[in-house]
Amino acid sequence: MAKITISEIARRAGVSKTAVSFAFNYPERLSEDTLRRILAVADEVGYAPDPVASNLKTRRTGCIGILVPQPIPIMTRNPYLLTFIEGVGEICHESGMSLMLVPPLKGNLRRAIVRAAVDGFLTLGLETFRGTMVVLQQRGVPFVMVDSDPTPEIPCVNIDDESGAYAAMKYALERGHRDIAIFGIRSGHHGDYRKYAGTLQRRITGYARALDEYGLSLDDPAIHLLECECDAAGGYEGLHTLWQSRRPPTAIVTMADVIAIGVMQAARELGLRIPDDLSLIGYDDIEGSRLTCPPLTTIHQPTVEKGRVAAQLLLQRIEERSLAAEHIVLPVELVERESFRSIDAAQ
């Protein structure tokens, strides 16, 4: 059977080829009667437009990609990503765009960039993948950086990471805690915080600033930095490891709520009561943080709004490449719940 073409659909429906094209690409331009007639004919003969051919003509895919530095199964262990996608998805829905997650392709992020059929990218936390930025620029599609160090001429959306970390650590210190563990996110630098970049660098700077105000530092024996995978298993394993030390902390400050949730699970197994035996504070304010037992004290970041803002910036750049690059920083705030208590600083 010969392949049905757009010309044949137009002949059978008694319309122009342009009208058929509008029916599949810009249906709002046709009357309801005309649209119904064209779609009925297409359905009758089993016609569907070729998306690849359409993309070649328009040079648009109608899709944006979220470029993530790890395989999707690993990234989705942190509910933060799903909340971010919610915000991006709202803008895509309003704009008639599709959304694609773009992880490394067989371990290679650069190959994934070249292969992804998208009109632009949102990049998540790629501060340690500078070579990736070169590939993005060479490909020539717009991109917006999220949770990364701002780069001239490239739009960027961050939260005030340093202020949030400062608020978390100061909150612990004000309540008398001096033996404090920081559960950081795995960096690849094995705890050498001086080599941190992007989000991790800003957060560790905030912690250090608060410690300095109390005559402490990240190198003080009472302050322990432990890197974890950014998931519940990371926090779980971290507490089991830490609790074997000679000087267990009275408080743990984590760089992510999902890590704190893993700490809670391990604490129950170790017979530790939160906050009576161990105070705990998170970062992100994911939906589950208010549902933990006890509810988690944390730093709220507007993750859905961050997704919306980043997606809006990207769509603007797709439509107008010459727009000036905006660097946007969204505010954070401390949320007090029941996982943290004051102690006598002298104990």
Within a 10 A sphere around the Cβ of 43, how many other Cβ atoms? 10
Distance CA 249, CA 347 (A): 12
pLDDT 10s digits, 200-257: 999 999 999 999 999 999 999 999 999 999 999 999 999 999 988 778 899 999 999 9
Rounded distance between C-alpha atoms, residue 306 and residue 292, angstroms: 24
The Cβ of residue 293 has, within 10 Å, a number of other Cβ atoms equal to: 10
| Average per-residue pLDDT for the chain | 89
pLDDT tens digits, 185-194: 998 888 899 9
Q: Cα dist. 45→8, 16, 20, 38, 53 in Å?
A: 10, 17, 14, 11, 20
Bridge partners (DSSP) listed for residue 101: 66
How does residue 53 score in pLDDT terms, banded at 50, 70 and 90? low
Alpha carbon distances (Å) from 244 to 174, 249, 268, 300: 27, 11, 15, 31
pLDDT of residue 327: 95
Angstrom distance (rounded) from CA 224 to CA 10:
72
Q: Residues 267-282: pLDDT tens digits?
A: 999 999 999 999 999 9
CA distance linking residue 117 with residue 197, whole number of Å:
30
Place of tokens 């899709």: 63
Confidence of residue 56 (pLDDT cuts 50, 70, 90): very low
Q: How confident is the model at residue 321 (pLDDT cuts 50, 70, 90)?
A: confident
When pLDDT is averaged across residues 87-94 and rounded to a whole number, the result is: 96
Distance of CA 151 to the CA centre of its chain: 18
Bond from prior residue into 275 cis (ω within 30 degrees of 0): yes
96-140 pLDDT tens trace: 999 999 998 877 787 788 788 899 999 998 765 566 777 787 778
φ, ψ of residue 225 to 5 degrees: the values are -100, 120
CA angle 328, 331, 336 (to 5 degrees): 160
3-state SS record for 184-227? EECCCCCCCHHHCCHHHHHHHHHHHHHHHHCCCCCCCCCEEEEE
Distance CA 135, CA 106 (A): 17
- Averaged pLDDT, 304-312: 97
